[in-house]
Amino acid sequence: MPVNAKSMVKVFERPKSLTDVQFTYCPGCHHGLVTRIIAHTIDELGLQERTVVVAPVGCSVSMYEWFHFDGIQASHGRACAVATGIKRVNPHLIVFTYQGDGDLAAIGTAESIHAANRGENITVVFINNQIYGMTGGQMAPTTLIGQWATSCPTGRDPALAGYPIRFAEIVAQLDAPVYVTRQSLYDQKRIMATKRAIKKAFQYQVEDKGYSLVEILANCPTNWRMSPVETNRRLADEVVKSYPLGDLVDRV
Amino acid sequence: MPVNAKSMVKVFERPKSLTDVQFTYCPGCHHGLVTRIIAHTIDELGLQERTVVVAPVGCSVSMYEWFHFDGIQASHGRACAVATGIKRVNPHLIVFTYQGDGDLAAIGTAESIHAANRGENITVVFINNQIYGMTGGQMAPTTLIGQWATSCPTGRDPALAGYPIRFAEIVAQLDAPVYVTRQSLYDQKRIMATKRAIKKAFQYQVEDKGYSLVEILANCPTNWRMSPVETNRRLADEVVKSYPLGDLVDRV
Amino acid sequence: MDNTFIFAGFGGQGVILAGKLLAQAGADYGLEVTWLPSYGPEMRGGTANCTVVLSDEPIGSPVVDNPSALVAMNLPSLERFEKAVVEAGTVVVNSSLVTRRVERNDVTELTIPANDIAASLGNPRAANMVALGALVKATGIFPLDIIKRAMVRMLSDKGSGKLIEVNERALEAGYEAV
Amino acid sequence: MDNTFIFAGFGGQGVILAGKLLAQAGADYGLEVTWLPSYGPEMRGGTANCTVVLSDEPIGSPVVDNPSALVAMNLPSLERFEKAVVEAGTVVVNSSLVTRRVERNDVTELTIPANDIAASLGNPRAANMVALGALVKATGIFPLDIIKRAMVRMLSDKGSGKLIEVNERALEAGYEAV
Amino acid sequence: MPKGKIVIDKERCKGCGLCLAFCAQDVLAYSTEYNQSGYNIIWVKEPERCIGCAFCAQACPDIAIEVYREKKPKQGK
Amino acid sequence: MPKGKIVIDKERCKGCGLCLAFCAQDVLAYSTEYNQSGYNIIWVKEPERCIGCAFCAQACPDIAIEVYREKKPKQGK
Amino acid sequence: MAEAGIRAGCRAYFGYPITPQNELLEYMAAHMPKVGGIFIQAESEVAAINMCYGASAAGARTMTSSSSPGISLKMEGISYLAGADLPTVLINVVRGGPGLGNIAPAQGDYFQATKGGGHGDYRMIVLAPATIPESIELVMLAFELADRYRVPVMVLADGMLGQMMEPVLFPEPVDPAALPAKPWAITGARGRRPNRISSYFLDPAELSARNVKRQRRYQQIEEQEIRYEEHETADATLVVAAYGSVARIARTAVRMARSEGIKLGLLRPITVWPFPYSPLRALSRRVDAILTVEMNAGQMVEDVRLAVAERAETPFYGKLGGLVPTPKDILREVKRYAS
Amino acid sequence: MAEAGIRAGCRAYFGYPITPQNELLEYMAAHMPKVGGIFIQAESEVAAINMCYGASAAGARTMTSSSSPGISLKMEGISYLAGADLPTVLINVVRGGPGLGNIAPAQGDYFQATKGGGHGDYRMIVLAPATIPESIELVMLAFELADRYRVPVMVLADGMLGQMMEPVLFPEPVDPAALPAKPWAITGARGRRPNRISSYFLDPAELSARNVKRQRRYQQIEEQEIRYEEHETADATLVVAAYGSVARIARTAVRMARSEGIKLGLLRPITVWPFPYSPLRALSRRVDAILTVEMNAGQMVEDVRLAVAERAETPFYGKLGGLVPTPKDILREVKRYAS
Ligand SMILES: Cc1ncc(C[n+]2csc(CCOP(=O)(O)OP(=O)(O)O)c2C)c(N)n1
Ligand SMILES: Cc1ncc(C[n+]2csc(CCOP(=O)(O)OP(=O)(O)O)c2C)c(N)n1
Ligand code: SF4
Ligand code: SF4
Ligand code: SF4
Ligand code: SF4
Ligand code: SF4
Ligand code: SF4
Ligand SMILES: [Mg+2]
Ligand SMILES: [Mg+2]
């Protein structure tokens, strides 16, 4: 059923900044959503010709293939160091990292914190899905207390494995970051808010303001072993209790 | 002039927990002071037969030779991971790490934060002298804004090298730590307070309460290029402004 | 003589699991077995296949140049492996997704609408079991029961007990469909 | 013929710097030079020594089995290196800290109370310069001025300009003391 | 209510069901169809109820949906 | 004031001067002596003023000072 | 392999997820608590190896596992373990490299494992199993050797072994309490002088003495611990040298070659360090060629050539990037030298 | 060496302090800003190498430096650089190991540098200077080679070179703007298709193709870039093989030996990878013995033996733990084979 171009106007289309390649994410995974939001943001800000994505190791490892701009794949946890190298050498580029919770908040703790502390003028998009997606569902530093994972098969026990790390709060303790926020995607309102947050973060980078962190509470239907719709419910009901949403720092 | 043992009583003596080996620290270095305080604390708590020191890489690298108890030398930054390994295997041992600001707050950021987040039942003594002592005075993550160091010869510029990291504040953001404090040594009162803080931290470990961090603002006369007495003045006048003293967490 | 199998399909189609089950059942049946997955992406996405060898003597290579049977759950899989199958071998094709026929005529072709059968049983994801059931029947390596028991054990171990019943029915349906 | 020197003493005594200065001055004087420190602890503490080679042709090994001159700023240094000095070589001994005499009688011994002289000039840390001054005089490798100029440049580069004057006087005092 | 229309790219759809949950107008439903990747895809069951709000498209992780809305040529309110 | 006495281990002293700065009674001063390590060491210049408070010892990074205090056999304040 | 570790008396496992060895970590997560052992999912491979360092110093039988990129991150830690004479068992389930590469089976880490990927003069005993049952056996052995010689021991597997399934019989478990005491371990200095674990010896003479002593232990290992398997070499004119899962593929190639009348044999190093130079030296005196087959660009072939010293031809056949040679591939290659 | 880097057009340096290479880092801190370059003291060696990865991908001539333990921490990063075909210059001022060891000069990292201390099949060009002037020259060369072949290049120095002082003449500075463009670099996809830097190739066939291409480049390097120096070998009956600062000590030993009538020569590899096998092979045909001298337990000697293939004796003399051989030591050893 073809669309009548005369009487109809396109109100939602595939972002220009995306290639045609199909995402390799599982059905219903929020990674796809955020990827799309970033692409729309780059479209809107007209940054396609100077944006660089630093892809992590995680389910989004080959993210650079989906964007119509330059990209680089960073070793596990080191995306912020890689981004630092690129941005310092060529400050004209708009550089963002896109990292999972294992990548950013476990193995990459030092690189993530010190890039923030140096106030690198980059945008860090942090997908907190409380699990190691790519490797098949092991505990992340952000996994909730009691949550099942393949490496804590009786649920995360804080006495053995510690507590969910609130990374945005840690970064907010530092002096340099200009924008630190936590968002989610479990309903239309949150999707819009996430979109605004990501846009603000990029906007700040364009204006040379400095470092931004956008933490996004996301799902992993495969490893949570839930349907995508159920994951949204869990995010709204459970996850936000451990990870309060909202802006933590907005220094501009 | 011999002391008359009949009429005189010894009110200060070398701790039993120390060997006879002379410290390799420079004249007037606070490392020696803290080492002595720890030894006195272990004496007082009677822990000599079950204490383990985890020495870092830094000016205190061979610290294990000064104590009359078991010791181990950890690779640069990883003392908290090493301590975790020891303590988990043998919870009866009283395990502490002793780390400089380069060791704990730069290269060891991830290990330091995650051991704290797991609430390992260990004591972390953190010597924040705002400089890399052992390697000859490079900038540390804790170096003050404007402070000279061999790797920031025009003074630390936050635009290039970021801001002094307040590690105690970061650790205080986590759920697990039971005791987080910042102390100094620039006058008699502070020395006594540091002594109390260290004792409390060990006491908590003995009682199986969990993780403690004692951050100590210390000097480095050699690399600050000041006399020891001048360093004390600087600590009192300048350094405490960036690093407020006092307890941040005491959950017991 | 070794029995060598290749299971191939999309990442989400459960070919890795189906192969594992066959190997497990073979071991239960007293055979020497190897099972060797060849992932696409780390753990998911893309195409996937695995190789199973069943033998009554110690197995050398778990890598197989020419399988005696192929289960092709989608078109790319058929295209990739069809030519490798030994003469007089068996090819099970999931005709729900593969529209063309096998081009060779020196092999036994079995077309099974695995997805449709699975959907009709109420769980479209059990298509892999349907195909496995068909394969067991076609090759006659061992009774269906052996597979069923292995499946029950594996799913209970994994804490996926609720899937046992539908998978059982899927195995049977595939077995019957031949 | 190469002129080879070993400076040895405690970590804090500035022997590394004294050797560096000699090498720098040698280079200024148009010689080939190598300077090779052998630290104790990373950067400080313990004992320290360094080796300087001055030559008018390209230098092979910067490592020296037998120095032509030794500066021993303390007792352990003398004990360690005394025997290695070449026959008819020179030994400068800091008699402020070393109470015994050189045991060999086939070398030239110079006893200089370097610490005392430096203290009398108002900076006990300049003992290394006193010894260096004495060495320059004793070996006559080049005029004292060359060393002085190298010292001024090195200290200005290091931002330690305020020490120049006292060091200058220490070099002179050492030179005179021979 | 404006009138909308959505176009689903069948080969991109992974049948996750998020669009369906986000559509407040109950326009969408699972079909009986499988795409080449083996996913049970979504179809526009009640096209006439679509208001072109794009909630579905915004929620689709695989950008399988394009949304059109009727032009409203400067009518009052 | 109680009467105190300190003993300095000359070979341990590094001449840092901290004890001197911490002593409120002006008991200590730099000597003209150097120890085997080449440090200009401290000496007890005014022994009679020492009250045995141990501030000096507590400030000494090299534990070169031992402190004694006169026994006060249960006198009333 | 995880179960073998537990049965070998391992009571402390520290790891970080990476494909293809997650099953091992997950098994440890589930089973260590049941035997009163320690399982920690560390924040990184660097943390994991340093936890091993601590746990091993405290006297426990300790283990970590990872795959290529994760193993690279452990290099400093491994060098420290070696420098402090601490036993630890490491499993490397090698994947395609360099860099992130892929998760397919590979043998690109042979040099790293056998020559020392970390700094300084150290060696690890490196065991290369070819089957799942042998993996079990060698993991058990690894703990024995680690403790006996106070060295880190690596089990060098690959994605094929890491993901293959084969039925196994487990040996009797070792009771950790019944193991020989470790008088050097950090257990609290009660009634004895303090124990100190360190690799820091500022004085070159002292460091040298330590190193010389360690090198002597290495020599002892070279004398006593070489393990290898010869298959059909008695009358062979041509031999394939291969280790790990490639060796079992080569075994099938040997069968195929023999059925065509080609006198092919197989030499399979089981310890790749210490490397079986002498059997290869012996073979080199009576065969025409020794074909080394590896899933890399040619690494073990250097050791083969060292042994052969140009007495026979030493061609190399390699597959890269996670590609696996098939028996046919090997046979084809063999035929090039069989005339 | 730092100044040589800047003159070679390096405009991005990332490092972390470690003795004995702090002077290099400090020089960069002071001078990079003056030429508009980037200096960052990273939070660790791991961060530093990954900053290099980013900066190099962005097209800059990039450099890092460290010493043994710090280099071990860079292993994963180096493998990534190799896997993504990125040029970077690394300086390793080797110290005594393993573990923390000490800061004295050593050569214990030869294997790590030449065989690949990181995972996967990769190589670095490894340049081993023997004097300070040569260090300067080779650092300049390192940048050229890194860019030409898109490989990481390591300058393998040691504590002796790192801390020695020798007068030098600096070559003319290279203007970074005048260097050949890097069309593969990440510069913003304006008017061209996106550039992608990655070492991740899930498909074994694709990863293999990449690897094969890279191996071909390595072969080209082996054909074109071998550098070495022969000294007094023409009539020699005995040759010392040594690299780096040991080679200059050996040079003095040659002089001493000649003065005693012993026909000693010296072969000094300048590139230790690619290794000068063929000149050694040639020598092995006409001398009695080739004595390898290293400040380690015997690493380069394996390469020497590969070249010699038992045609001559190949004894080894090593000093460990930061001890430095003196000319006399070498001469004594030489005499054992000179009869
Ligand atoms: C050095 C190293 N360690 C471990 C891995 C294996 N690995 C791949 S992705 C991943 C974590 C994925 O979790 P996360 O970062 O949360 O991303 P997600 O997949 O959940 O988006 C790990 C541990 C690796 N590739 N490299
Ligand atoms: C992996 C590694 N990187 C770097 C070093 C060099 N290093 C030795 S001590 C030190 C830092 C010392 O500073 P700090 O931790 O603040 O301790 P301090 O000496 O000031 O007490 C460094 C970088 C090392 N030994 N190992
Ligand atoms: S494993 Fe989880 S995070 Fe990864 S793609 Fe699948 S659903 Fe998304
Ligand atoms: S360098 Fe500084 S921190 Fe280190 S011992 Fe000397 S004064 Fe203390
Ligand atoms: S555009 Fe709005 S109304 Fe139409 S299908 Fe999508 S969500 Fe439903
Ligand atoms: S949200 Fe997208 S992928 Fe999911 S069912 Fe709807 S159209 Fe398909
Ligand atoms: S004990 Fe007190 S009074 Fe006596 S010297 Fe020490 S600080 Fe001064
Ligand atoms: S504080 Fe100790 S080391 Fe310093 S001068 Fe006094 S006695 Fe000597
Ligand atoms: Mg995650
Ligand atoms: Mg410090």
Q: Which residues line ligand 6 (CB under 6 A)?
A: E 8, 13-19, 42, 59-60, 62, 64-65
* Substitution candidate for ligand 5 out of E26, E55, E60 with most atoms within 8 A of CB: E55
Stated as kind and residue range, the H or E segment containing H222 is: helix H204-224
The single-letter DSSP state of residue H170 is P
H-run or E-run covering B190: helix B188-206
A162 touches chain B (CB under 8 A): yes
In short, whether A61's Cβ falls inside 6 Å of ligand 3 is: no
On whether both H113 and H177 belong to a single domain, the answer is yes
Q: Phi then psi for A23, rounded to 5 degrees?
A: -65, 145
- Ligand whose nearest atom lies closest to the CA of F64: 8
Beta bridge partners of H289: H238, H313
Mutate to test the pocket of ligand 1, among A132, A216, A222 (most ligand atoms within 8 A of CB): A132
H/E run at residue B198 = helix B188-206
Binning chain D into helix, strand and coil, the percentages to the nearest 5 are: 45, 20, 35
Angle at H198 between CA H197 and CA H201, to 5 degrees: 145
User: Which domain CATH number covers H103?
Assistant: 3.40.50.970
Strands (E), B93-226: 94-100, 123-128, 179-184, 212-217
Mean pLDDT over G58-85 rounds to 98
Q: Do chains A and H touch (3 or more CB pairs under 8 A)?
A: yes
Q: Is H192 within a domain?
A: no
Give yes or no: residues H110 and H41 share one domain: yes
Question: By CA distance, what is C46's nearest residue in A?
Answer: A24
Higher pLDDT, G182 or C142: G182
Provide mean pLDDT across the span E37-49.
92
Task: Report the C-alpha gap between F35 and B105 in whole angstroms.
Answer: 37
Report residue G187's pLDDT band, with 50, 70 and 90 as the boundaries: very high
Q: CATH number for the D2-176 domain, one of 1.10.8.60, 3.40.1440.60, 3.40.920.10, 3.30.160.270? A: 3.40.920.10
List of residues 6+ apart from B225 with CB closer than 8 A: none
Question: According to the model, what pLDDT value does residue E40 have?
Answer: 87
Q: C127-139 vs C144-157: helix axis angle to the nearest 10?
A: 150
Using CA atoms of H321, H327, H332, H338 in order, give the dihedral in degrees to the nearest 10. 120
CA–CA separation, C141 and C139 (whole Å): 5
Angle (nearest 5°) at CA G56 between G160 and G191: 165
- On whether both H102 and H156 belong to a single domain, the answer is yes
Spell out which residues of chain H touch residue D153, defining contact as CB-CB under 8 Å. Answer: none
Within 13 A of H157's CA, how many CA atoms are on the CB side? 32
The span from the first CA to the last CA of chain D, in angstroms, equals: 24
Instruction: Give the ligand with the smallest distance to the CA of B23.
Output: 4
Ligand 2 centroid vs B100 CA: distance in angstroms? 8
Q: Letter for the amino acid at B197?
A: A
With contact defined as 3+ CB pairs under 8 Å, the chains touching A are B, C, E, G, H
Q: What is the pLDDT along chain D (178 residues), one digit of tens a residue?
A: 578 999 998 877 889 899 999 999 998 998 888 888 876 543 444 578 899 999 888 788 888 888 999 999 988 889 889 999 999 999 999 998 888 999 999 999 999 999 999 989 988 889 999 999 999 999 988 899 999 999 999 888 777 778 899 999 999 999 998 8
Inside any domain, residue H191:
no
Nearest Cβ partner for G47 among B61, B64, B78: B78
Q: What is the pLDDT of residues G19-55, one digit of tens each?
A: 989 999 999 999 999 999 999 999 999 999 999 999 9
Mean pLDDT of all residues in H306-320: 97
Report the alpha-carbon distance of residue A202 to residue A211 in Å, rounded: 10
Name the residue of G18, G22, G65 to mutate for ligand 1: max ligand atoms within 8 A of Cβ.
G18
Instruction: Name which of H200, H202, H208 to mutate to probe chain C: the one with the most chain C Cβ atoms within 10 A of its Cβ.
Output: H202
Mean of the pLDDT values across residues B187-197?
Answer: 98
Do B75 and G58 make contact, defined as CB atoms within 8 angstroms? no
Considering chain C, what percentage of its residues have pLDDT values greater than 70?
Answer: 94
For E75, residues 6+ apart whose C-beta sits below 8 A from its C-beta are: none
Identify whether G191 is part of a domain. no
Among the partner-chain residues H103, H207, H306, the one whose CB lies closest to the CB of G321 is H207
- Whether F25 and chain B come into contact, CB under 8 Å, resolves to no
pLDDT in tens, A41-55: 999 999 999 999 999
C-alpha to C-alpha distance for B148 and B145, rounded to whole angstroms: 9
| Domain range enclosing G319 | 228-335
Tokens of B172: 């205080």
Q: What topology is assigned to F4-69 in CATH?
A: Alpha-Beta Plaits (3.30.70)
**What percent of chain B has pLDDT above 70?**
98
Domain count within chain H: 2
Which residues neighbour H158 within 8 Å (Cβ) at sequence distance 6 or greater?
H93, H94, H95, H105, H106, H107, H244, H245, H295
Are the Cβ atoms of B73 and H18 closer than 8 angstroms? no
pLDDT over threshold 80, residue H107 = yes
Burial environment of residue B49 by CB neighbours within 10 A (0 to 12, 13 to 18, 19 or more) = middle
> Tokens in use for C46?
């893309």
- Determine, for residues G327 and C61 on separate chains, whether the beta-carbon distance falls below 8 Å: yes
Cis peptide before B228 (omega within 30 of 0): no
* Residue-level pLDDT at C57: 81
Nearest CA to ligand 8 atom 4: F16
Say yes or no to pLDDT of C45 above 70: no
Give the chain C residue whose CA is nearest to the CA of E35: C97
Distance A129 CA to ligand 9 centre (A): 5
Domain CATH number, residue G278: 3.40.50.920
**Subunit contact D124:F36, Cβ cutoff 8 A:** no
Q: Per-residue pLDDT tens for A185-218? A: 999 999 999 999 999 999 999 999 999 999 999 9
Which of D152-156, G247-251, H83-87, H184-188 is least confident? D152-156
Strands, DSSP E only, in A42-178?
51-55, 70-73, 94-100, 123-128
Q: CB contact, 8 Å: B152 with chain A?
A: no
Q: 3-class secondary structure for chain G?
A: CHHHHHHCCCCEEEECCCCCCHHHHHHHHHHCHHHCCEEEECCCHHHHHHHHHHHHHCCCCEEEEECHHHHHHCHHHHHHHHHCCCCEEEEEEEEECCCCEEEEECCCCHHHHHHHCCCCCCCCEEECCCCHHHHHHHHHHHHHHHHHHCCEEEEEEEHHHHHCECCCCCCCCCCHHHCCCCCCCCCCCCCCCCCEECCECCCHHHHHHHHHHHHHHHHHHHHHCCCEEEECCCCCCEEEECCHHHHHHHHHHHHHHHHCCCCEEEEEECEEECCCHHHHHHHHCCCCEEEEEECCCCCHHHHHHHHHCCCCECCEEECCCCCCCCHHHHHHHHHHHCC
- B206 touches A at CB < 8 Å: no
Task: Report the share of chain A in percent with pLDDT over 70.
Answer: 98
Nearby residues for ligand 10 (ion, Cβ within 5 Å)? B 100-101, 129, 133
G180-187, long-range: CB within 8 Å, 24+ apart, which pairs? G180/G147, G182/G59, G182/G147, G184/G85, G184/G150, G185/G57, G185/G58, G185/G59, G186/B52, G186/B70, G186/B71, G186/B72, G186/B86, G186/B90, G186/B93, G186/G57, G186/G58, G186/G59, G187/B70, G187/B90, G187/B93, G187/G58, G187/G59
Whether residue C66 contacts residue C85, with contact meaning beta carbons closer than 8 Å, is answered with: yes
- Interface-testing mutation among D43, D47, D125, with chain B (most B C-beta atoms within 10 A): D43
**Predicted pLDDT of residue D46:** 59
Q: Which chains are adjacent to chain D, needing at least 3 Cβ pairs under 8 Å?
A: B, F, G, H
- Looking at residue B75, its pLDDT comes to 98
Mean pLDDT, rounded, for G220-249: 97
In the three-class reduction of DSSP (H, G, I as helix; E, B as strand; rest coil), residue C155 is classed as helix
Q: Give the C-alpha separation, C131 to G98, whole Å.
A: 38
d(CA H186, CA G160): 36
C–D touching, 3+ CB–CB pairs within 8 Å = no
Residue H65, CA distances (Å) to A168, B140, D112, H127 in order: 33, 18, 42, 14
**Is there a single domain that holds both residue H263 and residue H208?**
no
The sign of the dihedral angle between the CA atoms of G129, G130, G131, G134 is negative
Q: What's residue A115's pLDDT?
A: 98
Find the closest chain H residue to A112 by CA distance. Answer: H47
Contact (Cβ atoms closer than 8 angstroms) between residue C42 and residue G21: no
Question: Closest partner residue to G163 among C37, C61, C64, by Cβ?
Answer: C37
Nearest CA to ligand 6 atom 2: E60
Cα angle vertex E15, ends C50, C126, to 5°? Answer: 40
User: Does the model's ipTM exceed the 0.85 cut?
Assistant: yes
Q: Which of A12, A28, A232 sits opposite E54 (nearest CB)?
A: A12
pLDDT beyond 60 at B102: yes
Residue range A27-250, CATH number: 3.40.50.970
User: According to the model, what pLDDT value does residue C39 have?
Assistant: 60
pLDDT category of residue C41 using cuts at 50, 70 and 90: very low
Residue where the block lists tokens 């802006």: A247
Average pLDDT, chain C: 88
Q: Beta-carbon neighbour count of residue H229 at 10 Å?
A: 17
**Is any Cβ of chain A less than 8 angstroms from the Cβ of E31?**
no
Mean pLDDT check: name the lowest of C108-112, D86-90, H168-172: H168-172
Q: What is the pLDDT of residue G176?
A: 92
Confidence (pLDDT) at H168: 82
G126-137 pLDDT per residue, tens: 999 999 999 999
Residue H120 CB partners (closer than 8 Å, separation 6+): G68, G96, G97, G98, G99, G101, G106, G108, G109, H79, H82, H83
What is the pLDDT of chain B when averaged over all its residues? Answer: 97
Q: What's the burial of A184, exposed, middle or buried (CB within 10 Å: 0-12/13-18/19+)?
A: buried
The mean per-residue pLDDT over the stretch C107-133 comes to 92
Q: Is there a domain that residue H75 lies in? A: yes
- B107 close contact with G: CB closer than 8 A: no
Residue with the two structure tokens 């729309």? A40
Half-sphere exposure of H94 (CA within 13 A, CB side): 34
Question: Are G28 and G142 part of one and the same domain?
Answer: yes
Residue of B nearest to H101 (CA): B75
D14: phi then psi, degrees, rounded to nearest 5: 75, 25
Q: In chain A, what is the greatest distance between 2 CA atoms, to the nearest angstrom?
A: 64
The answer on pLDDT for A83 being more than 50 is yes
Domains of chain E, residue spans: 4-69
What are residue H330's phi and psi, to 5 degrees?
Answer: -65, -45
Q: Which of H86, H186, H195, H207 best tests the A interface by mutation, with the highest count of A CBs <10 A?
A: H186
**What's the residue count for chain F?**
77
Ligand 4 binding pocket, CB closer than 6 Å: B 25-26, 29, 31, 59, 129, 133-134, 220-223; D 44
Rounded to the nearest angstrom, the minimum Cα separation between H160 and chain B is 17
Q: Are B213 and B204 contacting, i.e. CB atoms less than 8 angstroms apart? A: no
Cβ atoms of residues E13 and E39 within 8 Å: yes
Antiparallel, parallel or unpaired: β A70-73 and A123-128: unpaired
Q: Which residue has the higher pLDDT, G164 or G300?
A: G300
